[in-house]
Structure 1
């Protein structure tokens, strides 16, 4: 990464390589200009090249290609959490609907549900419109339950949502969900110990290739991307010129009329004011890729993605479909409960937690079923990524209070593929028109980090 030792809380220069990043994308080490453009005042400087930063750049330049936009990435392109997740793209937080309605009100819970569902649809539309080669698959996803208490709780959420929908005919879910009980669930999913499950349409993909394609399209529209150029400080420009903000890097200082923090788990290191609120908590998440030697080509979960919701581990998995590179590989993530600290506060993705890695491999076989799995498996790869959590599970989106021209879309709670694309659209609307979209949840507003709302939904429950 350059510039000597990495300051605490900033991205590590040599992270683990995720399953998705092999081989590296053509723009992995892209620098639009060999020299950092320190003499230009950009309309926008975006810090971070994950799904949030890539979506903001794409939406800005699609709306106005004449804009000058600079993006700084600390490491290689899309090397943060967006290129390291489990490959799921699904609207899975309907499970929290009752919690959200209680904490924020019914209207906000409905707004969030619509945002999440539309976000997933928007990504699908983006992939199809631009013919993105990212292994995008339409699948059935399942929320699977293993305890009587957990299953009873989700059935209560379903009952509550149905009661709300009957009263609110003007706001309906666009996704049909099917409920499977007992033996029917076990047969449908092929998971021997499941007590119940809820299934609905979703997608799987290579998230790294998706984000890199967003960046490529923005590069075609004039984006200046500078990889391996970590932002070390963001400061207001002292004089009254055109530039309002300057961003310091080890290669020099750049200036912009507006700066956007798309820095997720690394935001605390870059912005002291946000750090002092204590609202953002980074955490290390982990995934393993493993392949059973047994033939699972006819297994009922072959074309599904699954959330294992109430085993206390926050586990999830999917199988790579026929015809894809790595056909038959199982990507299994979660296991944070194995760690005494739940990996909270960790910003080092250059290594993995060995105990979690061992757990994930055994858990994959246990969930699929030892009889179906067989006696042996091939261990392919372990990797980690740094995710970012908020007390109420929603991101911080908007202009930072008292710092005109400094914007952020951060704190995606490990659920960026269902929130970040629409959050970017809302942010771009705010920056370019001054208006907050009607569909944007008020509970996403960034100012709440400073007002200390009395809402704590214990985000570790949803990991």
Structure 2
């Protein structure tokens, strides 16, 4: 149980065998081969693959707080092959084969995360029970049917995603009002903080130095300025995801959007017999305003979703991580999905920010001329995606890329910047409002929302 001031960040942080005591801050100027800013999944996977390929590479990772402080330690625990950009969008830019290859690599990355965690002795509660998406009104069912048909048109079969009828849904989870659904094997439920803290220990064992409570004040080609000293490096990796807007000169790169979560008390066996989720399949319904849940190893349901506002000027603050209105909505939705939960106690409420690029398209890039590298913009689908991003960045930095990861559709991309305020505030919050309105309309009418469809079409999805 954590004893430092970092206890209480989330259910995940509260259920660690780790006191979360910060590692020492940077002690002065430093010369290394690679400096990584951000001790979350992206930064730590990058460091891991660099030193695994070449143990002689001098890598330092710095973080303003502690490893796993941000989204990597607070997320819903879906290690999935989901990607926020459609196959169609990727194919338009890089071709059909590249788009399909990207999806297949994401599918393969899910079990790879579990394999590496096992090799490194990281007990992150990895269970690949797949993922269930449920339709609870005709509009949602229509979209799921279209998704399966579209997936098949790209060469993916029932072994990748299959349509379920209502009876088949109930065999996995007794979601109230289910008309049907889809199931994919390409997802594992994990304890996210155990994974990120375990990765931090794994890279340290391989010679990487981590300095916590060390904020990057300024980031330039081949050097990072902190209050504790300057790091000179041949390569500098910006792995700050939802905190990218707080880095000097990058306020409009990614919009920090908050996603909030809640968790039940550990549930008794008789409730689990009614709920299902025996194999820890992650679950959601197919609404526009995203929700996500999992059965934890200690018998809780951890459940989250969107709906919290974007804050003016891309501001991030601990005060935004708890929102009574949104947390109440999440508890209400979970009970709607599983009415047997109506009398259970909810023990935890928390949240965190995630990085959203202007075009909803994550990127991985490295400029060999300046040494600057970046990966992020996962729009909440970052667990497995960050693992592949770290592997790709390591290949780019080392200039050793036998898998040709540099040819993937997200490699070398730069999304256009978000609009200046107040347009950014108006736009992001308008999208949240639009998705909520679309869901209400679909529940009433049973017909797909034209407004939501128009938005995704405008993004090229």
Category of TM-score, reference length = shorter chain: 0.7 to 0.9
Give CA-to-partner distance per residue, 1:306-329, whole Å, 9 cap, x none: 442433331111122xxx4xx321
2:202 corresponds to which residue?
Answer: 217
Pairwise CA distance, 1:287: 0.7
2:371 corresponds to which residue?
Answer: 405
1:315 corresponds to which residue?
Answer: 291
Of 361, 365, 371, 1:394 maps to 361
Pairwise CA distance, 1:342: 9.1
Give CA-to-partner distance per residue, 1:39-90, whole Å, 9 cap, x none: 4311111111101111011111111111211111111221110000111212
**Which secondary structure does the structure 1 equivalent of 2:61 belong to?**
strand
Q: Which ranges in structure 1 are unaligned for 5 or more consecutive residues?
A: 1-12, 166-171, 237-244
2:114 corresponds to which residue?
Answer: 124
Give CA-to-partner distance per residue, 1:414-454, whole Å, 9 cap, x none: 111121111111111111116595345543134432599xx
- Compared CA separation, residues 91 and 35, structure 1 to 2 (3 A): closer
Of 392, 411, 430, 1:445 maps to 411
- Compared CA separation, residues 436 and 352, structure 1 to 2 (3 A): farther
Identify the range of structure 1 (295-304 vs 430-439) with the bigger mean alpha-carbon deviation.
430-439
Pairwise CA distance, 1:128: 2.4
1:329 corresponds to which residue?
Answer: 300
**Which secondary structure does the structure 2 equivalent of 1:197 belong to?**
strand
Give CA-to-partner distance per residue, 1:260-296, whole Å, 9 cap, x none: 1111122232251x44xx4421111111011386732
**Which secondary structure does the structure 1 equivalent of 2:216 belong to?**
coil
**Which secondary structure does the structure 2 equivalent of 1:430 belong to?**
helix
Identify the range of structure 1 (216-225 vs 17-26) with the bigger mean alpha-carbon deviation.
17-26
Aligned equivalents of 1:66 and 1:102: distance in 2?
40
1:57 corresponds to which residue?
Answer: 47
Aligned equivalents of 2:97 and 2:201: distance in 1?
37
**Which secondary structure does the structure 1 equivalent of 2:128 belong to?**
strand
Please report the TM-score for the alignment, with normalisation by the length of structure 1. 0.80
Aligned equivalents of 1:419 and 1:198: distance in 2?
21
User: Structure 2 matches for 1:357-396, cutoff 5 A?
Assistant: 357-368=327-338, 370=339, 372-373=340-341, 375-396=342-363
CA RMSD in angstroms comes to 3.3
Please report the TM-score for the alignment, with normalisation by the length of structure 2. 0.81
Of 405, 424, 437, 2:390 maps to 424
- Compared CA separation, residues 331 and 21, structure 1 to 2 (3 A): same
- Compared CA separation, residues 65 and 391, structure 1 to 2 (3 A): same
Aligned equivalents of 1:203 and 1:92: distance in 2?
12
CA contact (8 A) 1:267 1:410 kept: no
User: Structure 2 matches for 1:54-453, cutoff 5 A?
Assistant: 54-93=44-83, 96-98=86-88, 100-101=90-91, 105-165=95-155, 175-201=159-185, 202-236=187-221, 245-272=222-249, 274-275=250-251, 278-291=252-265, 295-298=270-273, 299-320=275-296, 324=297, 327-334=298-305, 336-337=306-307, 339=308, 341=310, 345-350=314-319, 351-368=321-338, 370=339, 372-373=340-341, 375-400=342-367, 404-433=370-399, 437-440=403-406, 442-449=408-415
Give CA-to-partner distance per residue, 1:344-399, whole Å, 9 cap, x none: 9452244311111111111111111x2x22x4111211111110012343322112
Aligned equivalents of 1:101 and 1:89: distance in 2?
24
CA contact (8 A) 2:124 2:191 kept: yes
Count of residues paired in the alignment:
418
Aligned equivalents of 1:447 and 1:434: distance in 2?
20
Pairwise CA distance, 1:100: 4.8
**Which secondary structure does the structure 2 equivalent of 1:74 belong to?**
coil
Of 9, 12, 15, 1:20 maps to 12
**Which secondary structure does the structure 1 equivalent of 2:317 belong to?**
coil
CA contact (8 A) 1:305 1:316 kept: no
Q: Which ranges in structure 2 are unaligned for 5 or more consecutive residues?
A: 419-453
- Compared CA separation, residues 88 and 255, structure 1 to 2 (3 A): same
Aligned equivalents of 1:230 and 1:459: distance in 2?
37
CA contact (8 A) 1:283 1:386 kept: yes
- Compared CA separation, residues 59 and 442, structure 1 to 2 (3 A): closer
1:6 corresponds to which residue?
Answer: none
Aligned equivalents of 1:16 and 1:315: distance in 2?
22
CA contact (8 A) 1:46 1:70 kept: yes
